[in-house]
């Protein structure tokens, strides 16, 4: 029995609204010993007011010491154990460009490469061919036809593109064809199990036709295939939580991740204020709202401490508009830490804040890394945040008599 078995069994439906505001990469580090983090430096009167009314804690995205990518980071926040549920590379790449995977699809990351006259790889990335050159070449592969299989080819960036096979009986376990070396020929797709034999055969035929189509290209005269992956099977928010869930995100990756757990993508917001407007417009139609704010992470990745501080302050400014809608539960968190000091995702726990009429407030009156470690939510794995949200929304019954 896992947490989803529990939430399914104890599920109560009511009219409550839950808002989860995710500041991507929220957690940080001081730039100098004894200094403050980005969140602690930012002027956040609204978050501090929430901290006074609410309860905070330190969310461990996956397990202690493990820095997650966006996929596992969000799965944890959504309540899906990020070790139990894994999204294959191909599926994540397709998701990231906004491709709507269907059950049974197999997605593959492809790299254009250059073959020499003997058919050996001389450049595994086709000279990092620029996107404006590579995209039309990728699109030229859309002429490939294989009976019984629907094929999608989508350009990504530079030498990268995605291929999706759709059809009956396609397993996702096929070996990469990239030999990870130059001076050797690309490998042939090999199935890792019986269920994936058809996929390997289809991939082989795709490569055969691609070789013919690409043969006169100066750089991108062939391609490799990596990270074959079926659409992961994630039970939906409706099924495991009884929630009609909406996602309000700007970037395709986060829309895609939300779609994988059965959220509906609402609006076409481009700015944070757009996102809040979309929230208001859709308030009556959903029980749960995931709002994704990207720029806290991207400024952290750039190592730009001051800019990350500003982005957190920008986030703080919209809080009153969310509160005015009167959600039963309001959560502010991040999918992982992205300290400007490290310029990368990190393993450090993420400051997480939960406010409801029946949360048990802790004594803190500000929100940050130093306070969250002694907050009322303790140190907890991110996957427990959703059960806490449901409980605070009175959406979980008693376990056992």
362 near its own copies, rule: CB under 8 A: yes
What is the biggest distance separating any 2 CA atoms in the chain, rounded to whole angstroms?
A: 74
From 137, 141, 203, 390, residue interacting with its own copies (rule: CB under 8 A):
390
User: Is residue 326 close enough to count as binding its own copies by CB under 8 A?
Assistant: no
> CB count, 10 Å around CB of 174?
29
Closest CA to 77 of 352, 275, 274, 284: 352
Is 66 a binder of its own copies (CB under 8 A)?
Answer: yes
Is 83 or 190 the residue whose CB approaches its own copies more closely? 83
Give the residue from 144, 149, 191, 142 showing the smallest Cα distance to 166: 149
Do residues 27 and 296 make contact, with C-beta atoms less than 8 angstroms apart? no
Closest to its own copies by CB, 56 or 275: 56
Choose which of 344, 350, 352, 356 interacts with its own copies (CB under 8 A). Answer: 344
Handedness of CA 228, 262, 237, 389 (dihedral sign): positive
Computed on alpha carbons and rounded to an integer, the radius of gyration of the chain in Å comes to 23
CB 363, min distance to its own copies, A = 6
Nearest distance from C-beta of residue 277 to its own copies, angstroms: 30
Closest approach of its own copies to the CB of residue 48, in Å: 15
Give the range of 59-67, 140-148, 309-317, 327-335 binding its own copies by CB under 8 A. Answer: 59-67
Using rule CB under 8 A, residue 136 touches its own copies = no
Interface pattern 87-126 for its own copies (x via CB under 8 A):
x-x--xx---------------------------------
Instruction: Give the closest residue to 324 by CA, choosing from 360, 280, 354.
Output: 280
Q: Which is nearer to its own copies, 2 or 306 (CB)?
A: 2
Rank residues 79 and 262 by Cβ distance to its own copies and give the closer one: 79
Span from 70-78, 209-217, 218-226, 238-246 in contact with its own copies (CB under 8 A) = 70-78
Nearer to its own copies, 266 or 296 (CB): 296
Q: To the nearest whole angstrom, how small is the minimum distance from the Cβ of residue 109 to its own copies?
A: 10
Give min distance, CB of 275 to its own copies, in A.
24
Find the part of the chain contacting its own copies (CB under 8 A) among 166-174, 263-271, 286-294, 358-366. 358-366
Count of residues in contact with its own copies, rule CB under 8 A: 68
Q: Which of 219, 8, 260, 33 is nearest to 134 (CA)?
A: 219
Nearer to its own copies, 219 or 255 (CB): 255
Question: Does residue 10 interact with its own copies by CB under 8 A?
Answer: yes
Alpha helices, DSSP H only, in 111-196? Answer: 131-140
Q: How far is the CB of 334 from its own copies (least distance, A)?
A: 14
* Helix or strand (DSSP H, E) at 262: none
Torsion of CA 315, 321, 323, 325, to 10 degrees: -140
User: Helix, strand, or coil here: 400?
Assistant: coil
- For its own copies, the binding residue among 59, 70, 114, 338 (CB under 8 A) is 70
Map tokens 């539960």 to a residue: 329
**Residue 206 neighbours by CB distance under 10 Å:** 24
x-marked contacts with its own copies along 25-54 as a string, rule CB under 8 A: ----xx--xx--x---------------x-
Give the Cα separation of 98 and 64 in Å (integer).
Answer: 31
Q: How many CB atoms neighbour CB 352 within 10 A?
A: 25
**What are the two backbone dihedrals, phi and then psi, of residue 22, each rounded to the nearest 5 degrees?**
-105, 110
Residue 173 CB coordination number (10 Å): 19
Query: What SS3 class is residue 382?
Result: helix
Contacts of its own copies in 225-284 (CB under 8 A): none
Query: Is residue 350 within 8 Å of 24, Cβ to Cβ?
Result: no
Pure H helices in 282-332? 295-301, 305-324
User: Contact positions toward its own copies, by CB under 8 A?
Assistant: 1, 3, 6, 10, 29-30, 33-34, 37, 53, 58, 62-73, 82-83, 86-87, 89, 92-93, 339, 341-342, 344-349, 358, 360-363, 369-370, 373-380, 384, 386-392, 396-401
């Amino acid at each position: 029995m896992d947490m989803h078995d529990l939430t399914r069994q104890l599920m109560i439906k009511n009219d409550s609204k839950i808002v989860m505001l995710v500041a991507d990469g929220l957690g940080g580090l001081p730039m100098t010993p004894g200094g403050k983090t980005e969140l602690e430096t930012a002027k956040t009167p609204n978050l501090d007011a929430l901290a006074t009314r609410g309860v905070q804690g330190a969310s461990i995205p996956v397990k202690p010491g493990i820095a997650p990518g966006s996929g596992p980071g969000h799965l944890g926040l959504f309540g899906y154990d990020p070790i139990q549920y894994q999204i294959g590379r191909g599926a994540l790449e397709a998701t990231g460009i906004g491709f709507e995977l269907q059950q049974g699809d197999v997605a593959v990351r492809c790299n254009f490469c250059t073959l020499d006259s003997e058919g050996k790889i001389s450049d595994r990335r086709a000279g990092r061919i620029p996107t404006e050159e590579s995209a039309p070449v990728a699109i030229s592969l859309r002429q490939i036809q294989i009976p019984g299989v629907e094929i999608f080819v989508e350009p990504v960036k530079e030498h990268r593109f995605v291929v999706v096979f759709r059809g009956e009986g396609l397993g996702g376990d096929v070996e990469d064809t990239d030999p990870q070396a130059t001076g050797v020929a690309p490998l042939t797709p090999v199935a890792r199990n019986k269920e994936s034999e058809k996929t390997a055969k289809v991939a082989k035929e795709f490569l055969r036709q691609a070789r013919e189509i690409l043969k006169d290209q100066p750089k991108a005269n062939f391609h490799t295939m990596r990270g074959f992956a079926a659409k992961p099977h994630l039970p939906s928010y409706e099924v495991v939580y009884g929630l009609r869930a909406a996602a309000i995100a700007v970037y395709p990756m986060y829309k895609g991740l939300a779609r994988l757990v059965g959220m509906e993508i609402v609006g076409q917001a481009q700015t944070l204020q757009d996102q809040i407007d979309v929230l208001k417009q859709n308030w009556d139609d959903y029980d749960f709202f995931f709002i994704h704010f990207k720029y806290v992470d991207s400024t952290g990745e750039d190592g730009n401490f001051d800019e990350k501080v500003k982005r957190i302050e920008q986030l703080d400014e919209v809080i009153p508009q969310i509160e005015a809608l009167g959600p039963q539960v309001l959560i502010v968190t991040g999918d992982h830490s992205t300290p400007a000091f490290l310029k990368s995702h990190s393993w450090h726990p993420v400051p997480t804040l939960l406010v409801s009429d029946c949360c048990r407030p802790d004594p803190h009156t500000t929100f940050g890394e130093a306070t969250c470690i002694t907050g009322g939510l303790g140190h907890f794995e991110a996957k427990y945040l959703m059960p806490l949200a449901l409980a605070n929304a009175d959406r979980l019954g008693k376990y056992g008599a």
